[in-house]
Structure 1
């Protein structure tokens, strides 16, 4: 077993998908400015990615162990590499949709394979948690890197319709090819993964009968709806509402990812001293307060006299701080439901997490985009207060169900 080589391949896989998955916000802006697409048309883009993730994750729950995790990662990367090569060749909005379908299918295969492979490469809870956190940390590096990588190509354009920005996909295709080659020469014993595949698929439906799981899935759906709606449309908000240039809009949107990364690191320390549900309640109230305080500032913004960060309005720097307060919510609720279930049911639960997260993501992006087109960006972001309020209620219900589940576990055993 080539453990180090396999871990490196998983890290590269996650970084590639982090860049592509979190490129939808910039793709929406570039599709409008460079490919002539309307705001209404671009509001569907997240659906091409997220609905594909949901469908492939659901089907792959039982098929993945039979195909093999290493081969599944190679298959996902091959799909993405082909789509990346086609992007600059086609230079069309319809290709953006096809590329996102390929990214969705590839990510579903990659995420489930990476999560499962971590269990094969580690012994014990501490080693598992350590490797999981390290790989997820590398994912955030990819998220942070994407706006700057794309901005470097956008900055070389002579006009808004210049296709030079598409050259970034040649480099992503090359990264996919290198990672595939690394996986080809990596070997891992997957024997333990070939047992219980059918049971794992059937357990998806058994889990849906548990009140704890139902409340969790509603919570996860609402969270991703909020996050994706803001994250995806933040570059367009910067460009259309705050009157910033395309390059500056893309770069400043990276502050949301940076805030999220800092928030998750900080939450790991805070959760040692504060119960998870109190932290989430505080975060949700802080999010709502920030929206109510900051968005009115956007109404007063005038086009900056000069290009660049230093001439951007304060709201462009303050609003992405939402990521600080949003960051702890998703890992915390995932931890609550997974720690309440036996390890044998984690694979099926991960499948449900992927499916409902994808559905929440595409719903949030679509609703935000449609409202953005009809009522403006400020109204679109104000409406995030509704799912925030619903998620606050869901947190109380999740706390109650987790307590009841823990109390009934000994009797069930």
Structure 2
């Protein structure tokens, strides 16, 4: 493997931009849902399909196509995924009914599952140690956080200017086109494609068999719980914070004039800013502190913010819900990095696909369950956040166990020596 390849810096930036582009669309869904509910008169559960079905597409392509990054190589896999994503984005130019919109979002999800597993595997190829792997993963997710800020702002600006929100996807398609060109002309590093035994040979069946591996399963369940809780913020927080849930237009008159109203309007953006800032800080933090301790403490802080935000009502949640962005920032990229690092590099694409499956499953199931529970209680999003708090509590208990027992210590040390050398 050629970690010192002169193209590694360029590849790292292309990878970061891929994460940013994906976030521009996926994390704008909360703002888009508000528009679609009015335009097509759909329920909370129906509107949640705009988030759940794309996540299902990511989940299935991650699980069943994740092995492609190990089988045919990182570069071809990434280009195939980007081409499919670009096609879906440009097709939004003619998307003018709810079914077509949801279908195109679902197609884009399948595409993301393909190019993201390739990108996640590529991070291992350009890393010289498991710590650098975790730092780079935090960097990629930091740019994901930047995209999550940019996307909703673009949607808000487009709507304010009277331009259809669908143009967000056209803009993302333009970024995708540039990434395809970059991927075509940059030389990717080589990596060991020779498995140590026949049981490690790259195939769909061996990829699916990873689901039974305790390391893959442990981090995958953690990713599911985390994303299920996180998605409550950017999918349902805008609905929870509005003053009159029965109104056809979001209003924030119940908050005092000035900063409180401004925060209510831009609460999702505030959350994404804090999450992105935390991830840039995480690049430094995860190379210096015990990752298991940081995750345990931060997950406990999330439970506290959710609980106090529910008990104190909208006026307390207005501050505590966006604040969770700081505490959520390092959890998912660290799950991804440590989970992938528990396997040799020739399996990185496959295990990335397994973790991505559970990630997307959590992002699909979480908001949908929250929507159903809210509808069953008069449409009040508060009840959906109670479900999210339960997810966060289970995650915290699991991370307490992880810190106390440290079940991955030996495995990570072995792979550090065999896959990264002295690093």
Instruction: Give the TM-score range, shorter chain.
Output: 0.7 to 0.9
Corresponding residue number in structure 2 for 1:229: 232
Structure 1 contact 340–406 (Cα < 8 Å) conserved? no
Distance 1:333 1:280, change over 3 A: same
Structure 1 contact 53–107 (Cα < 8 Å) conserved? yes
Structure 1, unmatched stretches of 5+, are: 158-162, 300-312
Structure 2 contact 149–272 (Cα < 8 Å) conserved? yes
For 1:334 and 1:405, locate their aligned partners in 2 and report how far apart those are by CA, in whole Å: 16
Corresponding residue number in structure 1 for 2:165: 165
Corresponding residue number in structure 2 for 1:354: 356
SS at 2:395's partner residue? helix
Distance 1:194 1:164, change over 3 A: same
Structure 2, unmatched stretches of 5+, are: 254-260, 419-423
Corresponding residue number in structure 2 for 1:138: 143
Q: How many residues align?
A: 392
The within-5 A match list for 1:21-170 is 21-121=26-126, 131-157=136-162, 164-170=164-170
**Segment of structure 1 superposing worse, 353-362 or 44-53:** 44-53
Distance 1:373 1:247, change over 3 A: farther
* Residue 8 of structure 1: how far off its partner (Å): 4.5
For 2:63 and 2:146, locate their aligned partners in 1 and report how far apart those are by CA, in whole Å: 28
Corresponding residue number in structure 1 for 2:258: none
Deviations 1:18-63 (CA, angstroms, capped at 9, x unpaired): 2112122222222112333221211222221111112111222333
For 1:363 and 1:69, locate their aligned partners in 2 and report how far apart those are by CA, in whole Å: 29
Distance 1:50 1:401, change over 3 A: farther
For 1:272 and 1:69, locate their aligned partners in 2 and report how far apart those are by CA, in whole Å: 26
* Residue 237 of structure 1: how far off its partner (Å): 2.5
Distance 1:180 1:231, change over 3 A: same
Structure 2 contact 274–326 (Cα < 8 Å) conserved? yes
For 2:76 and 2:225, locate their aligned partners in 1 and report how far apart those are by CA, in whole Å: 33
Corresponding residue number in structure 2 for 1:258: 273
Is 1:368 aligned to residue 376 of structure 2? no
For 1:405 and 1:7, locate their aligned partners in 2 and report how far apart those are by CA, in whole Å: 27
TM-score (norm 1): 0.81
For 1:130 and 1:273, locate their aligned partners in 2 and report how far apart those are by CA, in whole Å: 10
Distance 1:256 1:408, change over 3 A: closer
Distance 1:260 1:341, change over 3 A: same
Which structure: greater helix fraction? 1
Distance 1:9 1:385, change over 3 A: closer
Alpha-carbon RMSD:
3.5
Distance 1:118 1:83, change over 3 A: same
Give the counterpart of 2:410 among 399, 406, 413: 406
The within-5 A match list for 1:144-223 is 144-157=149-162, 164-188=164-188, 192=191, 195-196=194-195, 198-199=201-202, 201-223=204-226
